[in-house]
Chain A
Amino acid sequence: MDKQKTLDKVIAIFADVMDVDPRTIGSATTPEDVESWDSVSHVRLIMSVEKAFAVKFTNAQIGKLRSVGDIAGALIHQ
């Protein structure tokens, strides 16, 4: 899948889940940068991404997703 397109779609989902402006979100964004990104919303984020891309991450994969770029990367390598 196209790298940039995937990242854009992840950012759009991220912005909706976290209720933030997508323009402030990039590949390097981590939980430290976004107040609403906590363990609870993280699970919701993963679920939303899984649904939108029709994939299912393993817990081992989820454990390694520490930034927006990590999520897009995991999707590309699915």
Chain B
Amino acid sequence: MWYSDLGELPWLLPAPADYRTRVLSLEAMERVDGATLRALASYALDLNNCHHLAKACQRLRDRIDAEPWLSPLRIAIVSGGTASYLGPAIVSACLRHGVLAEVYIPGYGQAETDVLDPESRLHAFRPEVAVVGFDHRVFGLKATQTGESTTADRVAAAVRHLSLLTERLLESGTQVVLQTLAEPPERWCGHFDPRVSGSVSAQISTLNQRIIELTLAHGASLLDVAGLAGLIGTSRWFDHAQWYNAKVPFALELVPFYSEHVARLMGALRGRSRKCLVLDLDNVLWGGVIGDDGLEGIELGHGSANGEAYVQIQAYALELKTRGILLAACSKNEEDTARMPFRDHPEMLLKEDDFSAFVANWDSKPSNLVHIARLLNIGTDALVLLDDNPVERDQMRQALPEVAVPELPEDPAWFPSAVAHAGYFEAVGLSPDDVNRAQYYRANAARAAAQEASSDIDTFHRSLEMVCDISSFDALSRGRIVQLIGRSNQFNLMTRRYTEAQVALMESDPSIFTLQARLTDRFGDNGMISVVIFRKGEKEWLCDTWLMSCRVVGRRVEEAVLAVVASAARAAGATRLIGDFMPSAKNRMVADFWNRLGFRYIGSIDSVGTRWALDLQDYAEPDLPMRISVSTRERPSPARSSGLADGNAREGVGQSAS
């Protein structure tokens, strides 16, 4: 039973014995970079180690260079019990998931009044995310035989309470994470409990269902504490003695485990979830070494225990792929040998075209992972490496500490569990774009081939038969918009991050102009590929956010978007657009963006960024090699249809204003 104690975070390396000393040595550093902190957090830390690391972060606050490895985030914990134990553990676990957290915890028993009072310290803290969690004791859920209505009333009161807190937090732009409740292990009647509405078991199960509905209704996220307690076992989750002693809501020794789960959600909300699973081949996708054992010699498929386990690893990888996780292969092998099982072994579930990158050579694994990241246009901190060889794992951690490398048990039966429990690919929502991602990457390869075949870039663009759909933000696309805002690093002018709650407020804010763009061409749908936010002034519109997916760089989408912005600004009576560029570690590719769009330089921002302006009277909409379909909240201007329509478009420009 290798994976029996999840509470110890077994996919992480144990913390070294001198951990506290290592943390203390940070004090000597003039600047502390995010990568160092993240590496220090990537151990299985107990509560005391969490405490040391979080304390160091607090002391060194002004010396930390967070970006590009860590995104800052203010988190409030709204809880019924004693929550002060959670702060350091959440800060530490968040570092592991790419988030530099500042945590605010109201005093004991103060959480609700803090949320409801707009003048409270909680609101002064301006949390970007609030984790809201109470348990059955705080809600007063008790076993009763007095009938359905009493228990229904009690559940309804709890739902109203959570609903009120959620609404107040959302109103102030705070993203809400709601927790389900764990069921206490002591039953009332026994196995009969789930069938009788008066039992705590039945009340909690109804309440949990309502909490899930609440998250859907309010665009909140879910932290499934009932599921966590189930993973551990409720008889261990609840420590009654600690509850009486200090109102600790669940066993203190499980705080690192709970915090790890909070942190992966925070990472997901900040777009820090990993994007690609890199698979070693020999002894990961099949048993044995293909180069030595040959097609008949490798262990794979039904008929042997290990053979079945390897099939299951492939099935798990395919499940990840269906929700948008990219797969890559990386193996020390001759390329032809490595590809042989994919082509000729009848039991292989994975095929070559399931992989977005396939690298088999004799180079070092770290250099191959850098290569894979570059091929896929993602950061190395978006990679997870599944490798059975502890030496290779160690080498990877030394060379590229930002790559996640789970510890694996000896038995391949547990490999999928290791990846699943580590929570690298945590999602707070699924968009159609996630499902189609692997397809986009393959379509890109087809486009590259088409480009080689056409003589010049304009002919190539026109041959793509592009259609660009541009519209205002809407609730339906909110999830994907938030994902792009959280994830885009390279083609991102200001790198501002916003939570779902903040984006929701923008949708109806009349002082803000928002755009989302989608691009389709004859090779397929690229999905949503650009997000733009302007703050509307009377004469000047200031760009707050402009980002684009790197998948469509060089397709002139930004020019189409600018044309729509310019026309809306003109219609509103503005005379100038203002655009800023704030350099980050990753966005060098857009340093010249505004210049290329015809803006002129008007000054610097804080001596690092640059500010640019476009006089609208000088601006003429270019002839673009695509059909543009616009629907925004703004009034359409008459100039748009003539200027934006591609002469070769088969249909007219679709326009609607609502």
A interface with B by C-beta (< 8 Å): 16-17, 19, 39-40, 43-44, 47-48, 51, 58-59, 62
Please name the residue on chain B nearest to A47 by beta carbon: B252
Given contacts A44-B48, A44-B252, A62 and B85 within 8 Å (CB-CB) = no
Interface contact B85-A44, CB-CB below 8 Å: yes
Interface contact A19-B246, CB-CB below 8 Å: no
Given contacts A16-B20, A17-B48, A40-B85, A47 and B253 within 8 Å (CB-CB) = yes
* B242 cross-chain contacts in A, Cβ below 8 A: 43
* B241 cross-chain contacts in A, Cβ below 8 A: 58-59
B interface with A by C-beta (< 8 Å): 20, 47-48, 51-52, 55, 82, 84-85, 241-242, 244-246, 248, 252-253
Q: A19 touches which one: B52, B248, B253 (CB < 8 A)?
A: B52
Given contacts A40-B84, A43-B85, A19 and B252 within 8 Å (CB-CB) = no
* 7 smallest beta-carbon distances between A and B, as pairs: A47-B252, A43-B246, A40-B84, A59-B245, A17-B48, A59-B241, A16-B48
Given contacts A44-B85, A47-B252, A47-B253, A59 and B244 within 8 Å (CB-CB) = yes
* A48 cross-chain contacts in B, Cβ below 8 A: 47-48
Interface contact B246-A47, CB-CB below 8 Å: no
CB B250 to nearest CB in A, in angstroms, measures: 13
* B248 cross-chain contacts in A, Cβ below 8 A: 43
In the bound complex, CA of A51 to CA of B48 (Å)? 12
CB B82 to nearest CB in A, in angstroms, measures: 8
Please name the residue on chain B nearest to A56 by beta carbon: B241
Interface contact B245-A62, CB-CB below 8 Å: yes
Subset of 11 A-B contacts with CB under 8 Å:
A16-B20, A17-B51, A40-B82, A40-B85, A40-B246, A43-B242, A44-B85, A47-B47, A48-B47, A59-B244, A62-B245
Please name the residue on chain A nearest to B252 by beta carbon: A47
Given contacts A16-B20, A19-B52, A19-B55, A44 and B244 within 8 Å (CB-CB) = no
* B51 cross-chain contacts in A, Cβ below 8 A: 17, 19, 44
Q: B252 touches which one: A39, A43, A59 (CB < 8 A)?
A: A43
Given contacts A44-B85, A47-B253, A58-B241, A39 and B246 within 8 Å (CB-CB) = yes
* A44 cross-chain contacts in B, Cβ below 8 A: 47-48, 51, 85, 252
CB B643 to nearest CB in A, in angstroms, measures: 65
* A59 cross-chain contacts in B, Cβ below 8 A: 241, 244-245
In the bound complex, CA of A44 to CA of B50 (Å)? 12
CB B520 to nearest CB in A, in angstroms, measures: 56
* B245 cross-chain contacts in A, Cβ below 8 A: 43, 59, 62
* B55 cross-chain contacts in A, Cβ below 8 A: 19
In the bound complex, CA of A58 to CA of B242 (Å)? 10
CB A70 to nearest CB in B, in angstroms, measures: 16
Please name the residue on chain A nearest to B24 by beta carbon: A19
Please name the residue on chain B nearest to A62 by beta carbon: B245
In this complex, the member of A16, A47, A58 whose beta carbon has the largest number of chain B beta carbons within 10 angstroms is A47
In the bound complex, CA of A62 to CA of B245 (Å)? 9
Please name the residue on chain B nearest to A50 by beta carbon: B253
In the bound complex, CA of A19 to CA of B54 (Å)? 12
* B52 cross-chain contacts in A, Cβ below 8 A: 19
In the bound complex, CA of A40 to CA of B85 (Å)? 7
In the bound complex, CA of A39 to CA of B252 (Å)? 14
In the bound complex, CA of A36 to CA of B47 (Å)? 15
Please name the residue on chain A nearest to B19 by beta carbon: A16
* B84 cross-chain contacts in A, Cβ below 8 A: 40
Interface contact B253-A51, CB-CB below 8 Å: yes
CB B373 to nearest CB in A, in angstroms, measures: 38
* B82 cross-chain contacts in A, Cβ below 8 A: 40
In the bound complex, CA of A51 to CA of B242 (Å)? 14
CB B62 to nearest CB in A, in angstroms, measures: 20
Please name the residue on chain B nearest to A17 by beta carbon: B48
In the bound complex, CA of A1 to CA of B52 (Å)? 30
Please name the residue on chain A nearest to B251 by beta carbon: A47
* B253 cross-chain contacts in A, Cβ below 8 A: 47, 51
In the bound complex, CA of A62 to CA of B248 (Å)? 15
CB B355 to nearest CB in A, in angstroms, measures: 44
In the bound complex, CA of A40 to CA of B52 (Å)? 15
CB A40 to nearest CB in B, in angstroms, measures: 5
CB A16 to nearest CB in B, in angstroms, measures: 6
Please name the residue on chain A nearest to B245 by beta carbon: A59
CB B340 to nearest CB in A, in angstroms, measures: 50
CB B396 to nearest CB in A, in angstroms, measures: 30
Please name the residue on chain A nearest to B244 by beta carbon: A59
CB A24 to nearest CB in B, in angstroms, measures: 16
* A40 cross-chain contacts in B, Cβ below 8 A: 82, 84-85, 246
In the bound complex, CA of A62 to CA of B239 (Å)? 15
Since A40-B84, A59-B245 are in contact, a sample of 4 more A-B pairs with Cβ atoms closer than 8 Å, ordered by chain A residue number, is A19-B55, A40-B82, A43-B242, A44-B48
Please name the residue on chain B nearest to A44 by beta carbon: B47
In the bound complex, CA of A43 to CA of B248 (Å)? 9
* A51 cross-chain contacts in B, Cβ below 8 A: 253
* B20 cross-chain contacts in A, Cβ below 8 A: 16, 19
CB A27 to nearest CB in B, in angstroms, measures: 22
CB B436 to nearest CB in A, in angstroms, measures: 48
CB A42 to nearest CB in B, in angstroms, measures: 9
CB B628 to nearest CB in A, in angstroms, measures: 59
* A58 cross-chain contacts in B, Cβ below 8 A: 241
In the bound complex, CA of A36 to CA of B334 (Å)? 59
CB A20 to nearest CB in B, in angstroms, measures: 11
CB A19 to nearest CB in B, in angstroms, measures: 6
In the bound complex, CA of A64 to CA of B51 (Å)? 25
In the bound complex, CA of A39 to CA of B394 (Å)? 40
